[in-house]
Structure formats: C-alpha cells, structure tokens
C-alpha cells in the first residue's frame, strides 16, 4: 500500500496544498495576527481585528491560481480570482470566528470516527484507494490507516496530519451550519400555499391602458411646476459625496511576438494534420473554441454569407477547399483557424459545406503582461516625480476623465471596481493610485476633485423632473381612458364593445399561476392577485400596476389536484426546506458581514 501511495505522491502533494490553503484561512480567523511594522499598511485588510497580510494573501492567491489553471487547462481570469479570493478569505475568517464564539469543539473520538468511516472527498479521489472500476474502496483506505509503515513515512504522515486538520475544520463548520439551520421548518400550511402558488391557474381577458399610448402626445410642463416638484421632493435629489479623477490605461492586447508564436503553433499543427494526425482528436485537445472542440471541431452546415463580414476570409478559405482537405492557418478576429472541409451539398439551389475547425486564440502571454506591469510601474514613478500630465505626454498616453462618480458606483471608462473607488474616496486631490488590473487592461488614476454630499442643484435635475411630470400626465390620461371604459361596463355592455369604444384591444392571458411571469404584465403584482381573487365570470374595477391600468375579466380557474399534492408533498417539503435553509444561511452570513468591522486596504495593493 505504501509503495502504491509513493507512486501517487504528486497527487498527495496537491491535497496537502489544498488543505494548507484552507488551514491558512481558518487559522487567520482563530488568532489575532500582528504582521507588519507599526503604522505600516503591510496588511491587505482586517476582519474584526484579524489582519490579512498582503504576502500571505498573495501566496493564497498563487495556490488558487495554480489549482484553477490545472483544473481548467486554460489561463484563469486573474481579476476574478483576486476578487473571489478576497471574498472567500473574509467569509472563512468570519466563519471561524463564529465557530470560536459558539465554542464548537471536535473530540478526538469524533474526529477518529469521521477519519475512519467518513473520509472527505479528497481521500475518495485518491487512486490508491479506488478499485479497478474507479470506485472508492473503504477496505483499501482502512488498510492504509492500519499499516504501521504509513506512520513511518514522512510524506504520508504529513498527509494524514493535514487531513485531520481539514476534517476537524469541516466538522466544526458543519456543526455551525446545523445550529444556524436547526430552527428552519416548513409547516403544512406553508407547503400547501407553495404548491397552490405553483399549480392553481387562472385564465383571463383584459383591456390595458398605459403611458405609452400617449407617447406621441405633447405634454405641457411649465417651469413653476418643475420648481414646485423640486421643492417638495428634496429627498429625491440628495446625493452622496463624489469624486472626479483622470486616468491613463494600457490595453491588454497581444504583442507582435505573441501573434507570431500562435501563428507558428497553428502552422505546426496544420502540418501534423496533413501528415495524418486525427483532426477530431486534435480539435478536442488543442482547440480554444471549447463548444466545438467537444464535437471534434464540427461547425455543422454553413451557407455562403452566414459567417458575417468579420469572418469573410474564413468562409472564402473554407469554400475553396476540396473535401477532406486541410487549410493553411487563417486569421480572423477570433484567432488562427485550421479548417477541414468535411462535405458539400446543394440545398434549395444553395451551395453548402460542412466544415470543422481548430481555433488558436491570440492572447497576451505572461511575459507581455509582465512587460505592461513594468510600464505602469515606470509611469507611476515618473508621475510622482513630475506632473501626471507630463509623464503621460512623454509616453504618448491619452489622459481621460471619469467625471464625478459615487463611492459604490460605476467609474466611467473603467467599470465597477471597489479597489479604485476606495482609493478615490480615501485619498487627497493629486494622489496617484497604484495600478489596477481588470479584464480590459491596466489603469492608473489621479484624484482631481472631491464633491461633498448634498442636494443636486435644480439646473442639473430639471430635465429629469420634466420627464417624470410628463410621464405622470400620460399615466393620468391612461387612467381616464379606463375610467371611461369602467363606466360603460356598468351599463352591461360587453368587454369587447367597451374596448372598441375607447380604442383599446381585448387581450387574453393564461392559464397562469401566481408565480409565473406574464409578458406585458409582470409577475406577483396587483394584476395577478386580482385575477385569483375574482371568480369565473367576474370583472374587476380598474387595477393599477407600475406598467399602467387594467380591467380584468376572469374566464376560468383551475384548482389544485389534491391527490397530486399528497403524492408530491414529501419531495416538495425537501425542496422548500432546502430553499429556506439557503435563505436562512445567506441572511445569517450577510448579517455577520454587516456587523463585522472589515478594513479593506486593497486600494493600496491594486495588483
């Protein structure tokens, strides 16, 4: 067994790494750290006094990056991973602090029982513990645990140590979850209401009048009405403090060397294919077009002109091939393609081809990214010594303006990013940010101006108020139209006749349930509730929703099937309980985060 385990030491190493990463986070939560010099912003953040050291965060991120790259076989999105890593660490620290506060412990006997009889998935995935069919074999695992040689081997001993620590943490967290979710119940009345909302149906006809009916009508709103509305609704125009920045950017695009390297790779693969390499297998292994790669690169049948102008060169090359022929690499906006013509046919007089392709995307390499990083660092040094504008001009960089933006808002020209927003709101005018990376490129900001919280001036909101008052006038016109229709209905006139008299159309909806979304109507609004409150044959008064006004006539009702309800009751209870538990846990976690004292210094370490 030990010999077999030695053959799998590479996998064991990765398991230890995974456990190690988890334990880093867990230990941060259980102990107050004191890394960094006094007064030095060497820590990335704090969670209830627990520091998240920048160096340890980077190590955690490196491990996550390697795992993701190994799992997917492609270059991971580093920006997404950084955000995910931050959120995961904050959450794990909060959870481990909750475990400590709740005094949740795991006894030695409890740990030993779990270790022996309920090993985690990490163990079950070990080939050394699987039978010839690839299924986990508990007897093989027990043999490993009972073998004295296991504890004399430093690698397997370390593996077990990390496994015990990880399992202990998992048990503690599971106990915490059980405490949180233990009070969540689903009563029989709640179950019936849930089933009824899903299965009771109504079919209605209705007439509708909304503001859009009068979109072409000219509304009259004078300045005095605008000023009166502004004076009476000051709270609508209150705004938070804002910031304005200027910035420069470096687009993440492949270098000429990156382009050439991919072209050479594509040509080499094309040569291998012409020498007899299997096209379908090569596409599965090498193509960057993952949806077609899983099908051996198959693109299906294509007609002339179907691929669009950007891929005209691709189409021309594909149609010029002979059946079975493989093309030279073709460049399109997607990258370099190798095309194989599979078949030809005529359909309704139109020529069509069936082709497969292998795509090689052209993306910036790590070397190119590192070169861009050096450029940004060089710019920061120059901008701090000279003027921001001078440094940008010397490098041929265009300076752009963000305009004023809110703390949690979108930064024009860059996107929504907490780190840059934090920099802008925690710095003084003239300050220059570290560089920030997102999917598009690298960015450096200089804070230009602060704007205090207050009421937006009338001249800024006049247009908005005018539009709002015009919309209110249109809604009032729609309401008046339906009031006229409602008055006619009292004379025992049919809905069709009434609709015709006010130039409206009778429409039908359903059968629909209380939980469904209805086009042009919406979901779970007054229209839906009124439809289920009325009995077949009854007609409503005017029903108001955000979209406009309705008069509803109920055509039929479909009540629930009691036998079907009883048959599904247990499965529905499990489903609804699972939903309630998820909601309870996410609410508990959100409250935990809201009450926590979280210091986020990522704006100082924007990489």
pTM: 0.62
Note whether 144 and 150 are within 8 A (CB). yes
Confidence at residue 38, expressed as pLDDT on a 0 to 100 scale: 39
pLDDT above 80: residue 496? yes
pLDDT above 80: residue 597? yes
Average pLDDT over residues 421-443: 89
Q: Which of 15-24, 139-148, 292-301, 423-432 has the lowest mean pLDDT?
A: 15-24
CA distance linking residue 175 with residue 86, whole number of Å? 25
pLDDT above 80: residue 14? no
CA distance linking residue 82 with residue 62, whole number of Å? 10
Tell me the CB-side half-sphere exposure of residue 384, using CA atoms within 13 A: 11
Residue entry with tokens 């979710």: 181
DSSP β-bridge partners for residue 441? 251
Phi, psi of 357 (to 5 degrees): -145, 160
Confidence at residue 41, expressed as pLDDT on a 0 to 100 scale: 53
Split at pLDDT 50, 70, 90, the class of 348 is confident
pLDDT above 90: residue 493? no
pLDDT above 90: residue 604? no
Q: Which of 226-240, 458-472, 485-499, 557-571 has the lowest mean pLDDT?
A: 485-499
List C-alpha distances in Å: 262 to 281, 329, 355: 20, 10, 22
Note whether 461 and 169 are within 8 A (CB). no
pLDDT above 50: residue 488? yes
Contacts 24+ apart (CB under 8 A), 366-370: 367/257, 368/254, 368/255, 368/257, 368/258, 369/252
Name every residue whose Cβ is closer than 8 Å to that of residue 175 and which is 6 or more positions away in sequence: 104
Confidence at residue 606, expressed as pLDDT on a 0 to 100 scale: 56
> What pairing do the DSSP bridges indicate for beta strands 400-406 and 350-360?
unpaired
pLDDT above 50: residue 35? no
Confidence at residue 29, expressed as pLDDT on a 0 to 100 scale: 45
Residue 219 exposed, middle or buried by CB count within 10 Å (0-12, 13-18, 19+): middle
Q: Could you give the 3-state DSSP secondary structure of residue 461? A: helix
CA distance linking residue 541 with residue 377, whole number of Å? 68
Note whether 169 and 509 are within 8 A (CB). no
Report cis status (omega within 30 of 0) of the bond before 85.
Answer: no
pLDDT above 60: residue 40? no
CA distance linking residue 535 with residue 541, whole number of Å? 14
CA torsion sign for 562, 564, 567, 569 is negative
Interior/surface letters 419-428, b for 16+ CB within 10 angstroms, e for the rest: bbbbbbbebe
Q: Which residue has the higher pLDDT, 593 or 10?
A: 593
Cα-based angle 541, 543, 547 (whole degrees, multiple of 5)? 150
Split at pLDDT 50, 70, 90, the class of 44 is confident
Note whether 356 and 366 are within 8 A (CB). no
Mean pLDDT of all residues belonging to the chain: 88
Q: pLDDT digits over 103-128, tens only?
A: 999 999 999 898 898 888 878 888 88
Confidence at residue 8, expressed as pLDDT on a 0 to 100 scale: 45
How is 383-395 classified by DSSP, letter by letter? HHHS-HHHHHHHT
Confidence at residue 541, expressed as pLDDT on a 0 to 100 scale: 94
Phi, psi of 559 (to 5 degrees): -80, 165
What percent of the chain has a predicted confidence (pLDDT) above 70?
A: 92
DSSP β-bridge partners for residue 351? 346
CA distance linking residue 514 with residue 560, whole number of Å? 12
CA distance linking residue 272 with residue 457, whole number of Å? 69
Residue entry with tokens 């010099």: 37
Q: pLDDT digits over 140-188, tens only?
A: 989 988 988 888 888 888 888 888 888 898 899 999 999 999 889 999 9
pLDDT above 90: residue 76? no
Query: What domains lie within the chain, and their CATH numbers?
Result: 2-181+599-604 (1.10.4030), 201-236+459-558 (3.10.50), 241-253+366-452 (3.10.50.40), 256-360 (3.10.50.40)
Q: How many residues are recorded in the chain?
A: 607
């Amino acid at each position: 067994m030990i010999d077999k385990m030695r053959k799998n030491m590479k996998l064991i190493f990765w398991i230890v790494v995974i456990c190690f990463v988890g334990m880093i986070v867990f230990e941060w939560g259980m102990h107050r750290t004191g890394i960094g010099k006094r007064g030095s912003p060497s820590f990335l953040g704090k969670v209830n006094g627990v520091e998240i050291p920048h160096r340890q965060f980077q190590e955690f991120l490196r491990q996550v990056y390697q795992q993701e790259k190994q799992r997917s076989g492609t270059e991971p999105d580093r920006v997404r991973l950084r955000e995910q890593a931050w959120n995961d660490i904050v959450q794990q620290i909060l959870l481990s602090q909750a475990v400590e506060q709740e005094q949740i412990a795991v006894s030695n006997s409890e740990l030993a029982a779990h270790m022996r009889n309920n090993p985690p998935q990490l163990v079950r995935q070990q080939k050394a513990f699987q039978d010839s069919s690839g299924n986990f074999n508990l007897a093989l695992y027990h043999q490993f645990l009972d073998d004295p040689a296991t504890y004399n081997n430093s690698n397997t001993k370390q593996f077990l140590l990390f496994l015990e620590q990880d399992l202990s943490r998992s048990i503690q967290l599971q106990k915490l979850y059980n405490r949180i979710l233990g009070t969540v119940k689903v009563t029989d009345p709640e179950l019936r209401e849930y089933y009824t909302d899903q299965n009771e149906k109504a079919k209605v006809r209705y007439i509708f009048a909304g503001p859009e009916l009068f979109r072409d009508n000219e509304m009259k709103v004078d300045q005095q009405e605008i000023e009166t509305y502004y004076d009476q609704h000051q709270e609508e125009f209150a705004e938070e403090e804002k910031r304005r920045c200027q910035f420069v950017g470096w687009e993440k695009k492949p270098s000429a060397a990156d382009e050439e390297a991919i072209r050479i790779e594509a040509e080499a693969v094309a040569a291998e294919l012409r020498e007899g390499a299997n096209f379908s297998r090569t596409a599965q292994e090498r193509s960057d077009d993952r949806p077609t790669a899983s099908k051996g690169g198959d693109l299906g049948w294509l007609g002339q002109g179907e691929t669009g102008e950007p891929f005209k060169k691709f189409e021309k090359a594909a149609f010029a091939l002979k059946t079975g022929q493989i093309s030279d690499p073709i460049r399109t906006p997607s990258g370099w393609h190798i095309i194989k013509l599979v078949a030809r046919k005529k359909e309704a007089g139109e020529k069509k081809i069936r082709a497969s392709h292998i795509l090689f995307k052209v993306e910036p390499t790590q070397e190119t990214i590192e070169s861009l990083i050096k450029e940004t660092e060089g710019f920061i040094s120059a901008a701090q010594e000279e003027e921001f504008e001078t440094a940008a001009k010397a490098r041929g960089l265009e300076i752009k303006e963000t305009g004023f933006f809110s703390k949690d808002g979108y930064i024009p020209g860059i996107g929504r990013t907490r780190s840059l927003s934090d920099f802008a709101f925690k710095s003084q005018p003239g300050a220059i940010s570290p560089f920030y990376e997102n999917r598009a490129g690298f960015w450096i900001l200089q804070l230009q101006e602060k704007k205090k919280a207050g009421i937006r001036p009338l001249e800024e909101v006049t247009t908005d108020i005018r539009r709002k008052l015009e919309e209110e006038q249109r809604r009032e016109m729609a309401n008046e139209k339906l009031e006229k229709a409602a008055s006619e209905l009292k004379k025992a006139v049919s809905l069709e006749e009434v609709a015709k008299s006010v130039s409206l159309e009778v429409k039908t909806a359903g059968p629909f349930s209380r939980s469904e979304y209805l086009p042009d109507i919406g979901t779970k609004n007054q229209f839906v509730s009124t439809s289920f409150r009325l009995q077949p044959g009854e007609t409503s008064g005017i029903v108001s929703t955000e979209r406009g006004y309705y008069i509803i006539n109920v055509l039929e009702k479909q009540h629930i099937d009691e036998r079907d309800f009883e048959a599904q009751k247990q499965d529905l209870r499990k489903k609804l309980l699972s939903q309630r538990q998820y909601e309870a846990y996410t609410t508990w976690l959100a409250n935990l985060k809201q009450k926590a004292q979280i210091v986020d210094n990522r704006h100082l370490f924007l990489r």
